[in-house]
């Protein structure tokens, strides 16, 4: 980020460390053409400016929650490439080096949460969910050697209005001076983290950055198939990951017991069930969302796979 808005410290290994000096701060980046529109929301202020995309590998003094609002980006985390699109995100602890590159049209929000703030919030609750456990573990002083982060992906490709309302409310409370704003901010941060724990809306995966090459490739295969809602052929996977499809097929089979095709079919069926149960979409809209040629084909596919009619899962 530009120097006049963020304090930047250079560590002994020449790796940039960015500090906001605030317990809570929000930053938006929107990639236009050759420039990026930055919007900073912190300490009752909102500031916007255009600048070149800041792509220097860096660490944050705070925990950073990144969430893609529109488009897609590539995040280089400890030198490894990870792809995120609208509805995806990640939670990075301070010791992780990263840098993101936004595609044109991408809009992303970063929520920086200081360690003292998180300790205060976590001391007041007893939640043992994945996110809260991750935060507690990474706040321990003896955990600074561990290189891992949380990857957040949407389970279904529909907007989550409650989550958006919480983010908008948090932005308003940080941007304006109101009595009791700090209490509202703390409550909204907890609600935001709790909303991410909703398994009907998000998948949370703890990614070990020191995993073997095989584990890394299997993770990327699974992530790509999930992102495509199961609509991923062997050729698609090979082209995207730049590895031979048969090699990737052997790796996935070894770890999951399923081939690329079998796993893609399973994901497609899971997404169909989730869309039927968790949304008000009609069957024809769900069939279209999942790439079926017709509602009739989707009906027969679902019936053959589950021995159930898709209509039986629709909300009453």
Tokens of 255: 């770890």
Q: What is the pTM of this model?
A: 0.86
What are the contacts of 175-184 at 24+ separation with CB within 8 A?
175/41, 175/44, 175/45, 175/46, 176/44, 177/44
The strand ranges marked E within the chain are: 7-10, 16-19, 24-31, 36-42, 45-51, 58-60, 63-70, 72-77, 80-85, 89-92, 98-102, 107-113, 148-154, 202-208
- How is the chain split into domains, by residue range? 7-208, 213-313
Q: How far is CA 163 from CA 63, 69, 143, 166, 226, in A?
A: 19, 11, 30, 5, 21
pLDDT of residue 5: 46
Q: What is the CATH number of domain 213-313?
A: 1.10.10.60
pLDDT at residue 206 in the model = 92
pLDDT for 142:
65
* 191: its two tokens: 């609600």
User: 7-208 with 213-313: one CATH topology?
Assistant: no
Name the class of domain 7-208: mainly beta
Give the pLDDT of residue 134. Answer: 94
Residue 116, both tokens: 């003292």
* Mean pLDDT of each 10-residue bin along the chain, 316 residues long: 45 64 93 91 91 86 96 92 92 93 95 95 87 92 77 88 94 91 95 93 91 90 90 92 94 94 92 87 89 88 86 71
- Give 313's DSSP letter: G
């Amino acid at each position: 980020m530009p120097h006049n808005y963020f304090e930047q410290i250079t560590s002994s290994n020449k790796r940039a460390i960015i500090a906001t000096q605030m317990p809570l701060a929000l930053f938006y980046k929107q990639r236009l053409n050759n420039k990026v529109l930055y919007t900073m929301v912190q300490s009752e202020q909102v500031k916007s400016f255009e600048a070149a995309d800041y792509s220097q590998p860096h660490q944050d003094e705070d925990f950073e929650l990144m969430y893609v609002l529109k488009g897609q980006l590539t995040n280089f985390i400890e030198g490894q490439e990870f792809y995120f699109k609208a509805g995806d995100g990640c939670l990075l602890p301070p010791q992780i080096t990263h840098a993101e590159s936004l595609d044109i049209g991408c809009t992303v929000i970063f929520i920086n949460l200081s360690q003292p703030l998180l300790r205060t919030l976590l001391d007041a609750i007893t939640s043992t969910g994945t996110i809260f456990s991750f935060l507690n573990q990474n706040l321990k002083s003896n955990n600074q050697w561990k290189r891992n982060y949380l990857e957040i992906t949407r389970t279904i490709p529909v907007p989550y209005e409650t989550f958006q309302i919480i983010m908008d409310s948090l932005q308003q409370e940080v941007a304006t001076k109101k009595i009791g704003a700090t209490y509202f901010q703390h409550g909204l941060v907890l609600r935001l983290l709790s909303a991410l724990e909703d398994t009907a809306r998000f998948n949370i995966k703890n990614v070990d950055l020191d995993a073997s090459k095989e584990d890394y490739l299997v993770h990327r295969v699974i992530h790509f198939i999930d992102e495509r809602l199961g609509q991923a052929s062997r050729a698609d996977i090979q082209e995207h990951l730049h590895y031979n499809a048969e090699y990737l097929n052997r790796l996935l089979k070894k770890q999951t017991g399923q081939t690329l095709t079998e796993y893609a079919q399973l994901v497609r069926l899971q997404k169909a069930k989730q869309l039927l149960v968790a949304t008000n979409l009609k069957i024809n809209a769900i069939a279209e969302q999942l790439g079926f040629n017709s509602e009739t084909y989707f009906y027969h596919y679902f019936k053959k796979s589950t021995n159930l009619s898709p209509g039986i899962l629709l909300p009453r």
